[in-house]
Amino acid sequence: MKKTLREIYFITLDFLKSLPINKKKAAIVLGALVVLIVGGYLGYKYLKPQPKKVYEALIAVRSQANADPVEDAKNSLKAGDVLLLLPEGHRWSDTEKVSYLILKMNLTEKQAQTLVSPEEKKAVIPKPKTDEEKKIAEERKKAEGDRQQMETVRARRYRVKLEELDKNFDPNILLEKQPYLDKIYDWKIVEKKPKL
């Protein structure tokens, strides 16, 4: 890449020298060309659309609850949370079919990972006080290296907006059928949860 940009630079410079314009204008034109070329390359490399694939999402339709609010946020799935994403055509068990909503979703790999990931924050690790605690902390640091320990704040960061499927969505319909398997949805029915 560096060699290609250098070659483009010298070709452009030679071209500009052959033009009957002063050096100041040549520098401006050269700078603009370099910015366009580099910007175009970076735009292509980083902004090109990611490939998508169709997944089947297993979605909670009823909120789980825990009496402890901190544990509730960390461990309880809420209505709209995606429990699992598997490739289209997966054979779901009868229990899964009546307990969870199954939707087909066309997503990039990054979107799929984001949809099932928890909300996390940097863990606060207390300073070791005893020699035993110091030894354990040193062993942990050796094993984990410089990776920052993370703590789960909420079971999922994102949720599927069930209300967009049907304003009066009734989970009991799952006892009869999966109502939305004939349509493929995308990221538009997903929302980030508000901060706790």
Model pLDDT for residues 135-175, shown as the tens digit of each residue:
887 887 777 766 667 888 899 999 999 998 888 888 999 99
Model pLDDT for residues 21-80, shown as the tens digit of each residue:
666 566 666 677 777 887 777 776 677 778 999 999 999 999 999 999 888 888 999 999
β-pair type (184-185, 100-108):
parallel
Model pLDDT for residues 106-132, shown as the tens digit of each residue:
999 999 999 999 998 887 777 777 888
State the pLDDT at residue 77: 93
Model pLDDT for residues 77-97, shown as the tens digit of each residue:
999 999 999 999 999 999 999
State the pLDDT at residue 52: 92
**pLDDT surpassing 70 at residue 101:** yes
C-alpha to C-alpha distance for 9 and 18, rounded to whole angstroms: 14
Model pLDDT for residues 46-55, shown as the tens digit of each residue:
777 789 999 9
The whole-number average pLDDT for the span 175-180 is 93
Structure tokens, 28: 């401006």
